[in-house]
Amino acid sequence: MQLLKDRIIKDGEVIGTEIIKVDSFLNHQIDLALVSEIGKELARRYEGAGINKILTIESSGIAIACAVAMYMNGIPVVFAKKAAPNTMTDGYYSVEVTSFTKRTVSSVMVSKKYLTKSDKLMIVDDFLAHGEAAVGLAKLAEKAGAEVCGIGVAVEKEFQGGGAKLRELGYRVESLAVIASMQDGHITFK
């Protein structure tokens, strides 16, 4: 998606050889017009896949997931929580997920009420690095008996292997901007 690539080049900040900071438009401050276009494109790519629910993880994936859902006739968005609120009383599915950016391991959970065997899911996130969040969300779906119809991400850092891992596991992965490498402050897109 050229619009997203252009914005990454214009406003993204390369940190070392593994991190691209997009805080000013994607995951701290959100450019709603850009996120809307990201949502429209991901929805277009999965048109006709029978998806009835979007699954993401808090918090950076929520805005994109909501934009995708709006272009898929307003289907529900469910996000895995990183802490169990005292309102989650009906039981939940839980898995551990390692965050590349935060260098933490979190137990993420989804209420059994909102993830069921009748769900045909699209997993949505802002970034795909090592694939840990997407794998964790797919494990939550498996626990519920739900079907993962695909994974949609705004930015894939191909050189970190997460996309290849997910594809090897048999998942359809659609990435709107695929970064092949980052060196000396320069981004090379695939």
Distance in angstroms (rounded) separating the CA atoms of residues 134 and 137: 5
pLDDT single digits (tens) 55-100: 999 888 999 999 999 999 999 999 999 876 667 667 999 999 887 6
Mean pLDDT of the region 146-166? 98
Burial 133-159 (b: 16+ CB within 10 A, else e): bbbbbbbbbeebebebbbbbbbbbbbb
Mean pLDDT of the region 10-28? 93
Mean pLDDT of the region 154-159? 97
What pLDDT shows up at residue 90? 78
pTM: 0.94
pLDDT value at 31 more than 70: yes
For the chain, list the domains and their CATH numbers.
Answer: 2-189 (3.40.50.2020)
- Side chain identity at 109, as an amino acid letter? M
pLDDT value at 11 more than 90: yes
Sign of the C-alpha dihedral computed for residues 32, 33, 37 and 38 taken in this order: negative
Instruction: Compute the chain's Rg from CA coordinates.
Output: 16
pLDDT value at 24 more than 70: yes
pLDDT single digits (tens) 122-155: 999 999 999 999 999 999 999 999 999 999 999 9
Distance in angstroms (rounded) separating the CA atoms of residues 97 and 123: 15
